[in-house]
Chains A and B, each alone.
Chain A
Amino acid sequence: MAKTELKNQIRRLRFDHEEMTQQELANRAGVTRQTIIAIEGGKYAPSLMLAFRIARVFSLRVEEVFEYEGPSASKQNQSEST
């Protein structure tokens, strides 16, 4: 799988939360550890539901955990109109 345009703070957040292991986060989010590894490495873009579940584990909002790095919608609209 190619690198996604979704940047995340999961690694930092895990360490901020008493050095939570990938397995612990996986169990709490209801996924496998390999999926957490893939998300952390930016190899897999989680579904909206999974993104919410991960954010909830850290008691944060989704946008505080994940950040979209692709072109913004307004920029895309501008380039389409020209």
Chain B
Amino acid sequence: MRPEQKRAWFILGICAVALLGFVVFIIVFKRIRAAPFAICALWVLEPLLFRRKSIAEKVSSDERDQMIAEKAVLFAGAASYVTFILACIIPWIVLYASGAEKLIHVDALGTIIMAGGFAFFVAKSITTLVLYGRERRDGQD
């Protein structure tokens, strides 16, 4: 497994824990809080955890890795944009289209912004894993 794939799994794991915490907050405390996303600060450990170890492998990355990284960022940017737009629109549709006279809590703003960033990293990790994963069936020495 390449370091890029390990990084992607690491980020997806952290995102899963953060999302779980977010859902627990909604169910238990009945409130939308961005606090569980603080666990994403663990990403700072990423460069320390996934360093190249193989001595036989002289090259750590090449044009194909660069191409996958570019595609992943492009896809993640699109996913982040769509998520942000949806996160902005959906609360208004839910509250006002239904005729309800309610206000959106100020805490929701942080969550909406966080959702865009969150979607970026999740989409980037998934795209990276999908693009690298295609080679798994190929023959190796």
Measuring CB to CB, which residues of chain A are less than 8 angstroms from any residue of chain B? 1, 21-23, 26-27, 30-35, 37-38, 40-41, 43-44, 46-47, 50
**Across the A-B interface, the 9 shortest Cβ-Cβ residue pairs:** A41-B138, A31-B62, A35-B64, A27-B58, A37-B138, A22-B141, A21-B141, A38-B135, A32-B62
- Determine whether the beta carbon of A1 is less than 8 Å from that of B62: no
Count CB-based A-B contacts (< 8 Å): 58
Q: For this complex, into which size category does the number of interface residues on chain B fall?
A: 10 to 19
B56 within 8 A of A: yes
B99 within 8 A of A: no
Measuring CB to CB, which residues of chain B are less than 8 angstroms from any residue of chain A? 2, 56-65, 131-132, 134-135, 138-141
Of listed A22, A23, A34, A38, residue having the most chain B CB within 10 A: A34
Contacting residues, chain A, for B134 (C-beta < 8 A): 1, 43
Partner of A22, one of B60, B61, B140: B140
- Determine whether the beta carbon of A1 is less than 8 Å from that of B57: no
